[in-house]
Amino acid sequence: MSMNTNAVSGFSKLSKEEKINWIANEYFAQPTKAVATIKQYWNSDAKLQQLHDEFIENTITNFYLPLGIAPNFLINGRYYSVPMVIEESSVVAAAAKAAKFWSTRGGFKTMVLNTEKIGQVHFLFKGTTAQLQSFFDKTKDALLAATENITKNMQKRGGGILSLELRDKTAELPHYYQLHATFETKDSMGANFINSCLEQLAKSLKEAALHYADFSSAEKDLTVVMSILSNYVPNCIVRAEVSCKVEELAEKKIENPQEFAEKLVQAVRIAEIEPFRAVTHNKGIMNGVDAVVLATGNDFRAVEAGVHAYASRCGRYSSLSHAQIENGIFTFWVEIPLALGTVGGLTSLHPLVKMALEILGKPSASELMQVVAATGLAQNFAALRSLTTTGIQEGHMKMHLNNILNQYQATADERKTIAAYFEKHTVSHASVVELIEKLRK
């Protein structure tokens, strides 16, 4: 095999075939086999394949993730079947199981608390804060007016720039100030809209400073460092909760509902005060959140960054969900920041994203926020129920068993024997492999 030790020149200018051949020849002992694997994942519909190729740059093939459905989500009195894109075993099953559990106990109650999004123009100014504030007060209306060509369509939909303020950050970094803008982007996630507005604000700010009579020549040279939206959206919050009488928690694996409720509340409190637990606890919530965010063509990386920043907002990383028992009522809830869209971007391009949104009943961005939050809460409840009763591995490893059997290309007879054996024994990767080898001898 020829291992590449040199940089490649002009890779982006190569055709798709040339890119594939270069990769295959540089990195694989059997280039022909590598090319076949890459092309095996192409879509047979050339137009659809071209659409996928144009989502990003330097594409060579498609990388598939499973799309599953978690049915029976009763949210604010309406049933949803929730599309989830994820590769991790047991996540979809856990969400569906929790949804079914709560559908007979009043379902999920959700509400959007706020939908503000944030963008900032970061700039340096050599004069005094008082001078800059006076300048800003006099030019603020003109700065906003300069964005009207960009904002007029959004304003027709009830969105636009909600506020614009000057923030002094010189105590943390010399000469550093911000224009801090809040936005309402309605059903659009709004990244392009926000960034376009910010770049116009930055341009207008710089021009206004150049022509401001009260600035010296040094002060007129206001330096814009960058203009960019923030993925931290602490005022774009959705709440989801479930509640019922403690005795109504009873089911097959919850024989003592009071003990179960108390244990679950303690588990949540541990995640509230212990960051090592909180990270894994919140990761479970995000298993549900990310899966729906991906299925609906939204940016799960932006959501993850914003959610984890929010979990740290009090100075220590903590649980996103909370639980209590009060007057015999068990309540479990989550509040999370979610900047989502149901128009624009992949939502109007990716055929499966369009289908996912159809399955959800063509939701508005606010409705989608609520579905996503409910799915995250369901996932968290399912994980905590397992952790505080049977343990997390029992269900997870049974689901993972199928992956191991696929890896070792188990026959139908082998699968039957192995499934029967692990009805009474603990599943582990080593024990499954050992049994396969024993059967094959």
Active site residues: 88, 283, 299, 396
Q: What are phi and psi of 179, to 5 degrees?
A: -95, 120
| Residue 145 CA, distance from chain mean position | 34
Q: In what order do the strands lie in the sheet with 117-124?
A: 160-168, 176-184, 117-124, 223-230
Please give the Cα distance from 82 to 142 (Å, whole number): 46
